[in-house]
Structure 1
Amino acid sequence: MFDESAPEPRDLPGLADADLVDAAWTTTRAENRACARKLAVMAELFDRRTRLAPHDRLDWWVDPAAAVTAEIAAAHHITQGLALHQTYRGVVLRDRLPRVGALFLDGLISELLVRTIITRTDLITDEELIAAVDAELADQILGWGPLSAKKTEAEIDAIVKRHDPDAVRQPPDPNTGRAVEFGNPADAPGFTTLWARMFDCDAAAAEHTLIAVAYSVCDNDPRSLDDRRNDALHALLTANPVLACLCGNTDCDAATNPRPLREIIVYALTDHTTATAEPPSSDTADNDSAAFESNKCQSDETPDVRDDEGDEPQPDPTAPEATEPEPKSEAAPAPKPRPGASALIPGRSAYVFGSGFMPTPLFDALLADATIREVIHPGQAAPEPGYAPSAALAAFIRCRDLTCRFPGCDKPATTADIDHTVPHPIGPTHPSNLKALCRFHHLLKTFWTGPNGWRDRQHPDGTIEWTSPTGHTYTTHPASRLLFPVLCRPTASLWTGDPPEVPMSANRGAMMPRRTRTRAQSRAAHITAERKRNAEIRAAEAAAENRAAPPRDHDRDEFTGGEGKSDYGNDPPPF
């Protein structure tokens, strides 16, 4: 029987080298077994939620699969994306690859190998074929020994090809099609990578124009050529065909060229907000922070998803998965992307929404074209009239929260909705009843609610207590609590006891944005397209091999007319 016990760290100095190696394998196997059981738990909960879910919710934008993976994400303290992928692996091991799953449960294979197997067998649609591949993989895996990632994929692909050639994964062609991408996960705070692939002629013209603009300043400009090229690209993208010179000379003609305005809101907190560990008392002046705002920046806020029982139109939600198209809404347009925003303690590093900390010199460069606007802590102010918060109140909520307030979500507050914790109009438009929620979690909270859904309770300091459908509680605090504690100073209390319960209307689900096809239909269409592409590639390769093959001896008469005389038909030379 497998012994899962592992030596304690304090006992390791007394072990022989061989014992240490044995302990390493013991702990590795125990880790594999624990991971397999974690995925099995996720798969079981996923199956219960999706199997028993009402049929009319399958085409909801936040469908039963998305709702349960949000619950799993909160329980495991991971992101929605990680929960979705891990749950899917658990379902595949249980339903499609049970023999491979048994090896994983026994700790004999790693989670990394399991991931590779699932990815490489994902296009097999026939139940008998996937069962045969599962059996062959389970018989051969333990005999492979240590292999590189490429060799492992090759071994799996060879088995898949014997059973279902059209299911072999083909690498995408990275060199076809034009594309433009903004951002890279490796980007440092304050920087965004811009990558593009275009036609050669377009790239040549763009490079020529970029160089011409970069050299449109005088020789005394202090910037390097790379900096000027970067600024030239920014100028061209903002419809400015010239570059403003930074030489500082009053007689420089290029110094008067227009400078493109940066679409950015910068929130700068005053020194006394973090000068002491304790937040200021309530009688301290409320004018705790100021904001620098570009002249070109829009002041309108991202539209909110109505969480009351009214007939307000629903804006388009942000897609929970990158593979899903954004839903279309005739009632209201999709929200405009909000400009980038930052929070700053003067003299220290800046905080950039969605990125993290930025060195002060980099942040200072963004303030050249900024104007100042105050962002005021509401203090004990009364609720605002109406549903939508004022620009000042919305700015305070976003600076206080910094990110989406759902457990485990780090979407920046600048792209989030402002949610009423207790639905309006019973819940007032007040900082003690408002928080930032990304569109996905806003829809989750709004429509997957009630006694068997998500519930949330907000405290005056911005703390949110979430209760999941199973009754488990998760507490989230404003991300500014450690960085800018004055923003978490309690605002007015709205309730003397428990907050009021708002009854749900029978037609609430009609307001949820819908998918054009269900998740299962989208997945089936994707697999069908991949298999069709693979079949076309195989057919083209077979045709190329037939054209390249030399003529067989018994076919020689077809090329010589049967009498040794060459007959090339109507083909022109060279034959």
Structure 2
Amino acid sequence: MFDSEAAGCIEAMASAVRAESAAIGARLKAVARLYAQRCRDYEGRQHWAGDIFDAVAAEVSAAQNISRARAGVQVRMAVSLFERLPRVAEVFAAGDIDYRALRIIIARTDNVDDEVIGSLDEALAERVGRWNRLSHNALRDRIDKWVAMVDPAGERVPPEVADQRYLDIDPHPTAAGMALIGGALHAMDAAALQARITAIAATVCDEDPRTTAQRRADACGAIGRWETSLACQCPDTQCPNRSVRDGAAQIVLHLLAEQSTLTSSSTAPGYLPGFGVQPAETVRSAARGAKLTPVRLPATAPEPGYRASAPLTDFLRWRDLTCRWPGCDAPVARCDLDHTQPWPVGLTHPSGLKHYCRAHHLIKTFYTGPLGWTDHQRPDGTIIVTAPTGHTYTTDATGGLLFPTLARPTAPLTTTSSGAEPTASPHRGAMMPKRRTTRDQDRRARIDRERRHRLDINAEHERQHQAWLAATYQPPPF
């Protein structure tokens, strides 16, 4: 007797997996169709700094409320899938493979020549349904084997390890006030950093209550502040190691918090750009000995010039905190201050200013007209963005959500008294920064470079094989 209830769970699970693949397939197909449409609408803009790819990514990120980077990944995948691997796309939409397998297939076939990609697409579509259970490495190897048979130069070249060095510092996913650090460095650089951390961690006395691991972690903060020692936390008030030895430079960090948090009358958290919300105790600890500067609310009257004053710029940075484009979370440190209505019709005032990252600033400025973007700003900083399709998206100021004082409505503005907004010049696009090469040309150059490298690797393998045969060959006796 079979367990019918459990059987129903299994069937629902399998059905959901297939439905998930079908839904993702439909989404990627829509992205690919949008890209093809915009290539026709925006013909001739491939050399623009904000090119067609960026324009489509902007629409995708707004529609799905995701970051520009994630939207860009979808655009690249969608175009590659439906232009180069339509049979694999059908298998995916049928639910025979999952998203993980699809990403591996697209990545490993990217260098295959356009003349033979069709035959590889057919071969993979017949087999990948049986490979879905394989591990990442096993699936990669199966795909690489078929790539090598169809197009030996199209097999992806392993990246140089040294070229993959990086250092990431990110907010801790679960612990507010903490961060995670990881990366890959040159061995000599890592050795120097290791020695520096060890030396600083050893500047406290033996009674310091922290573990060695904790002192090493704290030493990283000392390095960031250009300090050459840690402040000992032992109970001896006369300990000579209680003071910190400063280095030659001063590091400035900006932390936003309510006054009530600093006076301990509130437990409201603060905000550290790049690392998010910080607990009240972290804010109060950081404030000891720090320079405290109040964020001044803006004046009612607009400012006379194009550039915002330092106090107004400071207010807008804290009010916005990130790019105001739908889905974008680029920090204001990497953003431009944008007049919602072009200056001088649009006044220099918080009701008419907000931040856009450079990519979205270019999209808003140069993709105008019937197939362009428009935006409207409310006095509380809310932005309503209208896409070329007529869809509207609303974004609130992140700082205003965290600290309501920053979202208080400022004076409503429309235009200056000098008249209506001027009509955009038909030659506006001439002012768009240009690329030296298009995105497609860059991709083609990268593929050609990797294909030449793969041919060199294959030739060297063959040379070594022939040398081995010559060294081990024993002629038959006569």
- Name the TM-score, length of structure 2 as normaliser: 0.86
Q: Which amino acid aligns with 1:74?
A: A
Asked if 2 retains the 8 angstrom alpha-carbon contact of 1:178 and 1:198, the reply is: no
Residue of structure 1 equivalent to 2:32: 43
Asked if 2 retains the 8 angstrom alpha-carbon contact of 1:93 and 1:101, the reply is: yes
Q: Using the TM superposition, give the Cα deviation of residue 370 of structure 1 relative to its aligned residue in structure 2, in angstroms.
A: 1.5
Residue of structure 2 equivalent to 1:429: 348
Residue of structure 2 equivalent to 1:490: 409
Confirm or deny that 1:522 pairs with 2:442: yes
Confirm or deny that 1:84 pairs with 2:5: no
Q: How does 1:177-326 map to 2 (within 5 A)?
A: 179=165, 181-184=167-170, 190=177, 191=179, 193=181, 195=183, 197-200=185-188, 203-204=190-191, 206-218=193-205, 224-230=211-217, 232-233=219-220, 235=222, 241=228, 249=237, 252=240, 255=243, 257-258=245-246, 261-271=250-260
Asked if 2 retains the 8 angstrom alpha-carbon contact of 1:262 and 1:369, the reply is: no
Q: Using the TM superposition, give the Cα deviation of residue 249 of structure 1 relative to its aligned residue in structure 2, in angstroms.
A: 4.5
Confirm or deny that 1:34 pairs with 2:20: no
Deviations 1:192-247 (A, max 9, x none): 526452344x6555544543444345556665544554555555566555566666
Q: Which amino acid aligns with 2:58?
A: A
Q: Using the TM superposition, give the Cα deviation of residue 395 of structure 1 relative to its aligned residue in structure 2, in angstroms.
A: 1.8
Q: Distance in 2 between matches of 1:38 and 1:360?
A: 42
Q: 1:221 to 1:138 in 2, by over 3 A?
A: closer
Match of 1:149 among 132, 136, 154: 136
**Secondary structure class of the residue paired with 2:159:** coil
Q: Which amino acid aligns with 2:455?
A: A
Q: Using the TM superposition, give the Cα deviation of residue 107 of structure 1 relative to its aligned residue in structure 2, in angstroms.
A: 3.4
Q: Distance in 2 between matches of 1:523 and 1:406?
A: 27
Residue of structure 2 equivalent to 1:511: 431
Q: 1:435 to 1:547 in 2, by over 3 A?
A: same
Asked if 1 retains the 8 angstrom alpha-carbon contact of 2:325 and 2:360, the reply is: yes
Q: Distance in 2 between matches of 1:17 and 1:178?
A: 46
Residue of structure 2 equivalent to 1:459: 378
- Which protein shows a greater Rg? 1
Q: Using the TM superposition, give the Cα deviation of residue 62 of structure 1 relative to its aligned residue in structure 2, in angstroms.
A: 0.8
Q: Using the TM superposition, give the Cα deviation of residue 186 of structure 1 relative to its aligned residue in structure 2, in angstroms.
A: 5.7
Q: Distance in 1 between matches of 2:376 and 2:133?
A: 51
Q: Which has the higher helix share?
A: 2
Asked if 2 retains the 8 angstrom alpha-carbon contact of 1:218 and 1:254, the reply is: no
Q: Which amino acid aligns with 2:99?
A: E
Q: 1:226 to 1:452 in 2, by over 3 A?
A: same
Match of 2:321 among 381, 402, 410: 402
Q: Which amino acid aligns with 1:357?
A: V
Q: Distance in 2 between matches of 1:177 and 1:32?
A: 34
- Name the TM-score, length of structure 1 as normaliser: 0.73
Asked if 2 retains the 8 angstrom alpha-carbon contact of 1:354 and 1:411, the reply is: no
Gaps in structure 1 of 5+ consecutive residues: 1-13, 273-289, 291-343, 558-575
Q: Using the TM superposition, give the Cα deviation of residue 148 of structure 1 relative to its aligned residue in structure 2, in angstroms.
A: 2.3
Q: Distance in 2 between matches of 1:253 and 1:38?
A: 61
Superposition RMSD in Å: 3.3
Residue of structure 2 equivalent to 1:551: 472
**Secondary structure class of the residue paired with 1:267:** coil
Asked if 2 retains the 8 angstrom alpha-carbon contact of 1:40 and 1:90, the reply is: yes
Q: Distance in 2 between matches of 1:482 and 1:544?
A: 65
Q: Distance in 2 between matches of 1:205 and 1:143?
A: 49
**Secondary structure class of the residue paired with 2:254:** strand
Q: Distance in 1 between matches of 2:92 and 2:382?
A: 40
**Secondary structure class of the residue paired with 1:366:** helix
Confirm or deny that 1:74 pairs with 2:62: yes
Q: Which moved more, 1:474-483 or 1:447-456?
A: 474-483
Q: 1:133 to 1:261 in 2, by over 3 A?
A: same
Q: 1:144 to 1:463 in 2, by over 3 A?
A: closer
Deviations 1:309-345 (A, max 9, x none): xxxxxxxxxxxxxxxxxxxxxxxxxxxxxxxxxxx99
Q: Using the TM superposition, give the Cα deviation of residue 391 of structure 1 relative to its aligned residue in structure 2, in angstroms.
A: 1.9
Q: Using the TM superposition, give the Cα deviation of residue 44 of structure 1 relative to its aligned residue in structure 2, in angstroms.
A: 0.9
Q: Using the TM superposition, give the Cα deviation of residue 418 of structure 1 relative to its aligned residue in structure 2, in angstroms.
A: 1.7
Confirm or deny that 1:448 pairs with 2:346: no
Asked if 2 retains the 8 angstrom alpha-carbon contact of 1:183 and 1:192, the reply is: yes
